[in-house]
A and B are shown apart, each in its own frame.
Chain A
Amino acid sequence: MDLDYSNIEIHLEKDFAWVIADTKIKGKVNKSGKEFDKKGIQTFLFRLVDKHWKVVHTLSSSKDNKPKIIKADQATPKVIVPIVKTLQEDEAHDHGSDHQSQEPNELMKGLDSQAAKTVIAFHKAINLGNGKQAREYLDDAIVIFEGGGVERSARSICITSYAF
C-alpha cells in the first residue's frame, strides 16, 4: 500500500498542535483483491506530553481518485469514505478546565464546558439552517475539511448566511 502526504500544515499552540494534510492512498486489499486509489484529507491533533508530541486524535476522509460522474440531481452533498478514526487520550495530562464533564456516559464527555457549549450551539445553528448564527462561532481564518475539499475562510458562511 502506498500512502503519501502533501501540503502539510502545522499549527502550534504551546503544548497543543493540530496538523492538516492532503493524502493519497493506493493499494490492494489482500483478502478480496480489490484495488483502491483514493485521495483525501487528514487531521491530526497532538499534545505535548513529557516533552514528546503525542497524537491524541486523527480523522481521515477520502474519495476515489477518479470519481464517477454523478448527475447534479442525483448527488448528495457529501460522498466521502472514512479510513480511520482513533482516539487515545492521556488522561494524566489532561489538565482540563473548570468545566470538566461529570456525565456518566463515556460516549458523552466534557459537554458542560464552555467550549462544548460553543460546539453544540454551532450544531444547532447549522441544523436549523441559520448561517448567520453559525458564523458567530467560527474564527475568521477557519479551515474546514469536507468531502475531500477545503474551505479556508468563514467569509462564505457569512455571505451565505443572509440567504436563510
Chain B
Amino acid sequence: MLSDMSFLKELDIKTLEHQVKTDGNMAVSMSRSHMQGTFKGKEIDMKSMETMVLKKIDEQWKIIHIHWSN
C-alpha cells in the first residue's frame, strides 16, 4: 500500500468504468482505470483493474477485500 500511494500520487488517473452493486449488507465494486504520468523518471501509461468486496458493519461500509491488477 505504501508503494501504491507514492506511485499513485504522481499519476493522472482516469476512471474508464466503475460499477457498484449493492445487495443487503454486501456490495461489490468493479472498475478499470487509465493511469498516466512519470514515476521515478519512467513514463507510465497503463490500465488497471480493481475488484472490491464491501460489508456494512455497524452501519458503516467497510472494504473487506481488494484485488488490483494491471
Contact = CB atoms under 8 A, between A and B. Distances in A.
B29 A116 contact: yes
Interface centre among A20, A47, A107, A151 (most CB of B within 10 A): A107
A46 B4 CA distance: 28
A43 B67 contact: yes
Contacts of A100: 22
Contacts of A111: 18, 20
Chain B: interface size category: 35 or more
Nearest to B57: A139
Interface in B7-33: 7-9, 13, 15-31
A82 interface: yes
A13 B68 contact: no
A93 to B, nearest CB: 8
A126 to B, nearest CB: 5
B69 A59 contact: yes
Interface centre among A41, A119, A147 (most CB of B within 10 A): A119
Interface in A104-137: 107-111, 113-119, 122, 126-131, 134, 137
Contacts of A11: 64-65
A138 interface: yes
B53 to A, nearest CB: 5
A137 B39 CA distance: 26
Contact of A129 (B9, B26, B30): B9
Given A129-B6, A139-B63, A156 B1 contact: yes
Interface in A62-116: 73-74, 76-78, 80, 82, 85, 87, 89, 94-97, 99-101, 107-111, 113-116
25 contacts: A15-B23, A18-B53, A56-B21, A59-B67, A60-B69, A76-B42, A77-B7, A78-B7, A87-B30, A94-B21, A94-B23, A96-B22, A97-B27, A100-B22, A108-B18, A113-B22, A115-B20, A115-B56, A117-B61, A118-B54, A119-B52, A127-B8, A131-B5, A139-B62, A142-B62
Interface of B: 1-9, 13, 15-31, 39-40, 42, 44, 49, 51-57, 61-70
